[in-house]
Amino acid sequence: MKMNISNIYIAHKSETCFSKSGNPLSVYRNLSEAQESADYQYTQSGIALTAYQCKTCGKYHLKPTEFYCEKLSSTCSCTDHNGKKKDAYPTAQDAEKMVNIRKRAGIALFVYKCPQGNGYHLTSSKGY
């Protein structure tokens, strides 16, 4: 008997988390379920997805790998020129990935090491 794969990969839609375009995100109960679904979607669409644990709902969602950047949850007191807390990335490569994403949107950013040792930050000007 052939397994009906579409039954396995029905994901629940989130009531709390939405994509930038306003669509509810698919919710997975655990990481392996999310990863399985990511693998399946890759075979179907060729789009690589990364599973991540959501800070809002505590469950798992998928994000296109090319837009996924690991962020540090630890904080430092670095702020941007608007006084907003800066995102921190664990490695220069992660930060670089974000630079490339923003570059496509026409925003030039630079990577620099957190002076407080909290990974890497991005800045829009060389003067920080």
Q: Phi, psi (5° rounding) for residue 58? A: 75, -5
- Using CB under 5 A, which of 48, 76, 92, 101 touches Zn ion? 76
- Using CB under 5 A, which of 39, 40, 52, 54 touches Zn ion? 54
- Using CB under 5 A, which of 19, 30, 53, 56 touches Zn ion? 56
Nearer to Zn ion (CB atom), residue 5 or residue 13: 13
Q: Hey, which bits of 39-127 come out as E strands?
A: 49-53, 60-64, 110-113, 120-123
Element (H, E) at 14: strand 12-18
26 binding Zn ion? (CB under 5 A): no
Q: How far apart are CA 88 and CA 64, in angstroms?
A: 20
Question: Residue type at 2?
Answer: K
Question: Residue type at 71?
Answer: K
- Using CB under 5 A, which of 78, 99, 109, 111 touches Zn ion? 78
62 binding Zn ion? (CB under 5 A): no
Binding site for Zn ion (CB under 5 A): 17, 54, 56-57, 76, 78, 114, 116, 118
